[in-house]
Amino acid sequence: MRRLLYLAPVGLFLVLAGYFAFSLRPGYDPHTLPSAMIDKEAPVFELARLAGNGTIGREALKGHPVVVNFFASWCVPCRVEHPLLMRLAQREHIPLIGIAYKDKPADSARLLAQFGDPYRDVGMDRDGRTGLDFGVYGVPETYVIDATGHIRKRFVGPLSAEAVDHELLPLLRTLGGS
């Protein structure tokens, strides 16, 4: 019995190494995790606007392709990705919907005042319920939603310039053309 106790550390480590090996499997990229939500309709939500005027819901996503971005003021990677979002909004004129995830409204507002506001509309997901419905497991996360309100792609972690140029923009172009 005492022997077993001494075996515990190496046992635990091997389990951990198994996880590591699993996450190194070919074709795995933490930035483009497959989502169970792909090609499904975006979940229903009703969030208070950051601007303070009413609420924003799923209906706002329909009619034309949009990009939904989950962010938070306490998240450093969000700040890294921010210049890209500004570029998307200003140069590419992509409609971005921001969802402030588990964040205080004042903090979110301050973030946008400091770095610029790339979003057409911002909803506040204070308890993280909407994030849970979308399948967010960390901010930032970005979803591409087509004109019928179906989720077409998910980006986990901060967007990179390559991901934007080679995946996000081409996808939006095909969605916009159809």
Partner 1 sequence: MFVELGHFCLILALFVTVVQSTVPIIGAARRHLGWMAVGRTCALAAFLLIGCAMAALMHAYIVSDFSVINVIENSHTDKPLLYKISGVWGNHEGSMLLWVFMLSLCAAAVAVFSANLPPALRARVLAVQGMIGVGFLLFILFTSNPFLRAATPPANGHGLNPVLQDPGLAFHPPFLYLGYVGFSVAFAFAVAALIEGKVDAAWARWVRPWTLASWCALTIGIAMGSWWAYYTLGWGGWWFWDPVENASFMPWLVGTALIHSSIVVEKRDTLKSWTILLAIITFSLSLVGTFLVRSGVLTSVHAFATDPARGTFILLLLLAAIGGSLTLYAVRAPSLQGGGLFAPVSREGALVLNNLLLSCGCATVFLGTLYPLFLDAMNGPKLSVGFPFFNRTFVPLMVPMIIALGIGPMLAWKRGDLLGAMQRLWVAFVAAALAALIAYYVTTGGPVFAIIGLALAAWLGAAVIAEWTERIGLFRMPLTASLRRAIHLPRAAHGMTAAHFGMAVFVAGVSASAFDREAIEVVPLGGRLQVASYTLELQSVDPVTGPNYRAERATIRITKGSEEITIVHPERRFFTLQQQTTSETSIRTNFLADLYVALGEADAAGKWTIRAYYKPLVPWIWIGAVIMAFGGAVSLSDRRWRVGVAQRRRLGSAVLPAAGE
Point out which residues bind partner 1 (CB under 8 A). Answer: 2-3, 6-7, 9-10, 13-14, 16-17, 19-24, 26, 30-31, 33, 72, 74-77, 79-80, 83, 101-102, 110, 113-114, 116, 128, 131-132, 135-139, 156-158
33 near 154, Cβ under 8 Å?
A: yes
CB of 171 to partner 1, least distance (A): 20
130 near 45, Cβ under 8 Å?
A: yes
48 versus 80: smaller Cβ distance to partner 1: 80
The residue type found at 161 is A
Of 70, 29, 24, 43, the closest CA to residue 151 belongs to 43
21 versus 54: smaller Cβ distance to partner 1: 21
Token digits of residue 7: 């075996």
122 versus 136: smaller Cβ distance to partner 1: 136
CB of 148 to partner 1, least distance (A): 24
150 near 178, Cβ under 8 Å?
A: no
CB of 3 to partner 1, least distance (A): 6
Angle among Cα 31, 36, 71 to the nearest 5 degrees reads 50
User: How many other CB atoms are found less than 10 A from the CB of residue 69?
Assistant: 26
CB of 30 to partner 1, least distance (A): 5
59 versus 107: smaller Cβ distance to partner 1: 107
Of 155, 147, 134, the closest CA to residue 60 belongs to 147
119 versus 175: smaller Cβ distance to partner 1: 119
**Three-state DSSP class for 123?**
strand
CB of 138 to partner 1, least distance (A): 5
